[in-house]
Structure 1
Amino acid sequence: MLIEDIGYIEPVLLIKPEKFSIENIEQYELHIEIGTTFFRFAIKDQDIFISLEDFQYPLDQTKTEFIKAIFNEHPYLSARFWNNIKVILHSTKKTVVPAKLDIEQANQVWEALYGKPEANTSILYTSIGKNSVVFQTNTEQLDFLFGFYSDKKIIITLAESLLPITENQETYLLFDGKGCHITYSKPQLNCYYASDWRKLDKNRNDQNLLLIGEITEYATEFKQLTNEIIHAKKASLKPSIRLSSDFSQIAHFRYFIILNS
């Protein structure tokens, strides 16, 4: 079942199996993605994604207010008995360190580069291969999630850590609705945020330039990008990622991150 709608607590996109039952929630995994302009979550039954809901933040609420409201009001998110809970964060401020870090070292790196963290923010880190990405996130949102699911271990990760970087040296452009996150591994791993993709080096010869996130082939921005950077193409999911038949109607590159989690 695929439904498209726009509203406050109504999702922009909803995929839910007809026979889904919250009574069996302890056997499911909950995957949450908190973006700059969107909030979405997916449900996984063993190794198959069976449900997806995608929301846009309303104009009359802050991002944090919306997150608190939807967790308290949504019948699935308000349930506490999930088998596993994974939270994917997007951050516009981050840096790559070519080493494995612990949280103390991550904070030391951050202060050396940027000084003290901004008010109401926390510094986290995640691993990508042999590297670590140190990033800034919202403290109030984190505290709320850990308090809401206080009896569950929550796995927190940065969106970029879910990108399948291989020896093919892919470059990913992850559009989040306001800007573009760039992740590449040539000549070394790097990831950063650009408020405008036009700031990219147009002379880079990236043969594996993959587009994901909040962009569609009908958008003017997509046409401009593919005209200026001829190697750009939409990313495809790996064949090993299993989806229910209801997912055949959606643009997989738009939900590339959460479906790789």
Structure 2
Amino acid sequence: MTEQETHITPKYQVQDDRFGVDEIHDAELIFELSDGCFRFGIRNGRGYFVWLEDYSLRHRENKLAFVQATVQSHKFLSVRFWRKVTLLCQASYKTFVPSRITEEQAQRIGQHLFQTERKTHHSFEKEGTFVFAGHESIVQFLQNLYGADKLEIKLAEQQFDLQQNFWTYIYFQEDGISLVFGKRHINSYWFARIEDLVAYLKTQSKLESVRVCGEVTAYSKAFRTLENYVGNLLLLESKDEIKRSQYFQDTPFHRYYSIFSQQ
């Protein structure tokens, strides 16, 4: 049996069945992608999140085939005429350049620093440019479906308020952990395990005002471990300006912070 024939079921989902295909032209589709996950949220024309589905890519030999089958068989994802489509990439290969650079410059930086076969993408921040390696085959599939000029590609961490405060963020992702610094020295660093992050933190002065999100809870062993090395450690909380359907009442905001915070 091929992956295309396998029954496709999300590991987590929230569905407001009042949302329909006839609203897509005025709605926003937000994907988040990593080696371990493929998820998406839908925000309707009134600014409310009405749909969320989260799929695991772990242990899937052909991730592209699974994403293709998921998208092509989905009653909403298979439709092309969205008002806006955004792809948020979780990446282990990434860096921040404190200036605006061209695509050609980004490719050179990626080839020099990352030394990977993956295609390099870049996305602008107010004070510079994030350069990161993406999932080329899946990105190409989504660009072909929705249009390369319509699909906006960003690093997932860009949803944090990097320009507005001095917080440090710890983002627990499917395949590792990102340590993200804001305003004073914007950058993002990736660690494969909590032990690697702790080893790094031991070499630094104690971080204060740290916010945590992603695949973690306040009761998890990883969170408790971090409390020994950082100050004022808190899960990211929902923002008043983020509107969600009543069906999202029990959805863990911090887990899907990137999608909910997409502007």
Identify whether the pair has TM-score above 0.5, normalized to the shorter chain: yes
1: CA distance, partners of 2:7 / 2:217: 23
Distance apart, 1:146 and its partner CA: 1.1
Match of 1:223 in 2: 224
**1:158 pairs with one of 155, 158, 176:** 155
Distance apart, 1:58 and its partner CA: 5.2
Distance apart, 1:97 and its partner CA: 0.8
TM normalised by structure 2 equals 0.87
Q: Matches of residues 173-212 of structure 1 in structure 2 within 5 Å?
A: 173-185=170-182, 187-196=184-193, 197-202=197-202, 203-212=204-213
Identical aligned residues as a percent: 26
Q: Matches of residues 1-261 of structure 1 in structure 2 within 5 Å?
A: 9-46=8-45, 47-57=47-57, 59-114=59-114, 117-119=115-117, 121-150=118-147, 153-185=150-182, 187-196=184-193, 197-202=197-202, 203-261=204-262
2: CA distance, partners of 1:78 / 1:240: 29
Cα deviations across residues 225-251 of structure 1 (Å, max 9, x unaligned)?
A: 224434221011322122122222111
Aligned residues: 252
Please, what is the CA RMSD of the aligned residues?
2.1
Letter matched to residue 149 of structure 1 = Y
Cα deviations across residues 168-204 of structure 1 (Å, max 9, x unaligned)?
A: 3111111112310111036411211111232331453
1:215/1:72 CA distance change after superposition, 3 Å: same
1:8/1:228 CA distance change after superposition, 3 Å: farther
1:130/1:52 CA distance change after superposition, 3 Å: same
Letter matched to residue 235 of structure 1 = L
1:191/1:152 CA distance change after superposition, 3 Å: closer
2: CA distance, partners of 1:135 / 1:233: 27
Contact 1:98 1:130 in 2 (8 A): yes
Match of 2:3 in 1: none
1: CA distance, partners of 2:60 / 2:32: 21
Cα deviations across residues 195-215 of structure 1 (Å, max 9, x unaligned)?
A: 123233145332210111111
Contact 1:8 1:58 in 2 (8 A): no
Instruction: In structure 2, list runs of 5 or more residues that go unmatched.
Output: 1-5
TM normalised by structure 1 equals 0.88
Cα deviations across residues 107-129 of structure 1 (Å, max 9, x unaligned)?
A: 22233434xx523x211111222
Cα deviations across residues 33-86 of structure 1 (Å, max 9, x unaligned)?
A: 112322111111122211111111253443222211211112211112212111
2: CA distance, partners of 1:8 / 1:201: 43
Contact 2:29 2:40 in 1 (8 A): yes
More deviation in 122-131 or 183-192? 183-192
